[in-house]
Amino acid sequence: MKLQKIVKRLQKLHPKEIDLSLDRTRNLLEKLGNPQDQINCISVVGTNGKFSTIQALYSILKEADYKCNIYTSPHIQKINERFVFNNKPLTDDQLANLFTEIEEINNGTQITFFEILTVAYLHYAKKYCENINLIESGLFHRFDATNILKKNLASIVTAIGLDHLDWLPEEERTVKKIIFEKTSSLLNSKIIVAKQSSKEINKGIEDTIKNNSSKKIIFNKNYNFTLKENDFFYFEDEFGSLKLPKPNLPGEFQLENVSTAIVAARQLKDYKITDEHIKVGITKIESIARLQELKFGKLKNLVKKNLLFVDGSHNPLGAKVLNKYLESLDCKKHIILGMMANKDHNEYMSYFKNIESLTTIDIPNQLNAITGNKLKEKIKNFEGIKYKSSVENAITSINLQENDIILITGSLYLAGEVLNLN
């Protein structure tokens, strides 16, 4: 209860959820002695795949016996997920004490919720200054609160696509603008560019970073991977080739994120990471709400022997790779969909093909979500689309046959609610 009260106070320190600027973050960090200058960081920017890439890299580093601090957003079930130190999330009491300390130093000064969380993370990270910090950038990066580092070990650029367009002026809602916002201010260290969804995006990234003096490691130029049968894949970069087991994450698209993590690990020349650490690490990745199969729990009990997945994808690029995975399965697929109001709902659903049924639902506890009824009315291209008020009602309304699967998707916030319900 103490933690929840503090969080509510911090959320009221600024009238806006997002106010793109670095000044407030810098001012508060200066009061704390600029802890961001005293830690070792790997920055991760992009639209999709950031969390999975971080988790894959984290698993490799743990296997090599290195300790990590991790900062990601948003959280899925508990805010503690955003604050991992020494390989463990902070407890409620630890987090409450940290927030109280930062709140007192801030002394009521206007600052957004994400900014003060970022400052809190960086302040606490100083306690473990030898650890590797894996830091996920938030909105667009250029004016994101995480973009206050003067140096880092590397910058990772995951897949870039259209998302969060409502925060851009109408005339600038293009992938070119998003590429600029995410990559134009990357630090001079090493830049690892993951596989992108088109040659145009790849060229846009390369053009934007061409004057950056960093060493650049780009998919298809400096590293590659090839999927093979019998549950393995080949990876190759400047240090040679590896025959690797498939990671424990479903979906071929996850090989892109895992391969990006492998490149980053092999570029850390001051750290001793062996081929064996990589081979074992990629089979132990812990990733929630990213094509996660629910193998037990209350919701799983409703589908009995059928498979039940939850995935937090919420933009067209996420839908595209998710559908590619679904099409690789020889079974009937049923989608349960809940989304936030500011997303392009029809564009998102346009990527899904050969879906047996679609059920829209409300997302509980989210004021900015579109209601399931309105979502049903907006989506025009699915015959027989239906609405149910809850996840449980949606699941039980589906006439499941043997081998059918259910996928609950459309929002990370929905994914969190689903995991809590389960």
CA distance 80 to 88: 10
User: Helix, strand or coil for residue 342?
Assistant: coil
The domain boundary, picked from 221, 250, 281, lies at: 281
350 CB contacts (<8 Å, ≥6 apart)?
316, 319, 381
Statement to judge: residues 87 and 173 lie in one domain: yes
pLDDT (tens digit per residue) in 37-49? 999 999 999 999 9
**69-128 pLDDT per residue, tens:** 999 999 999 999 999 999 999 999 999 999 999 999 999 999 999 999 999 999 999 999
Helices in 328-371 by DSSP H: which ranges? 345-349
Strand partners of residue 21: none
pLDDT value of residue 384: 86
**Element (DSSP H or E) covering residue 227:** strand 224-228
Query: Whole-number mean pLDDT of the chain?
Result: 95
pLDDT-derived band at 165 (thresholds 50, 70, 90) equals: low
Query: Taking the CA atoms of the chain, what radius of gyration do you get in angstroms?
Result: 21
Listed range (1-5, 305-309, 379-383) with the worst mean pLDDT? 379-383
* Inside any domain, residue 29: yes
The reply to whether 286 falls in a domain is no
Residues 223 and 347 both lie in one domain: no
Task: Give the tens place of pLDDT for each residue, 331-376.
Answer: 999 999 999 999 999 999 999 999 999 999 999 989 899 999 999 9
Tens digits of per-residue pLDDT, 390-402?
A: 999 999 999 999 9
Asked if residue 140 lies in contact with residue 20, where contact means CB atoms within 8 angstroms, the answer is yes
* pLDDT tens string 295-310: 999 999 999 999 999 9
Number of domains composing the chain: 2
Across residues 122-145, what is the average pLDDT? Answer: 94
Predicted pLDDT at 171:
82
Token look-up 């079930």 returns: 77
Same domain for 240 and 142?
Answer: yes
The whole-number average pLDDT for the span 236-257 is 94
Query: Which domain CATH number covers 187?
Result: 3.40.1190.10
Residue 229 belongs to some domain of the structure = yes
In degrees, rounded to 5, the angle at the alpha carbon of residue 186 between the alpha carbons of residues 183 and 191 is 90
Interval 191-218 mean pLDDT = 97
Residues 234 and 168 reside in one and the same domain: yes
Q: Which pTM does this prediction carry?
A: 0.94
Measured between its terminal Cα atoms, the distance across the chain in Å is: 22
What is the domain extent for residue 37? 2-281
Give the CB-side neighbour count of residue 171, counting CA atoms within 13 A. Answer: 0
In single-letter form, the type of residue at position 154 comes to A
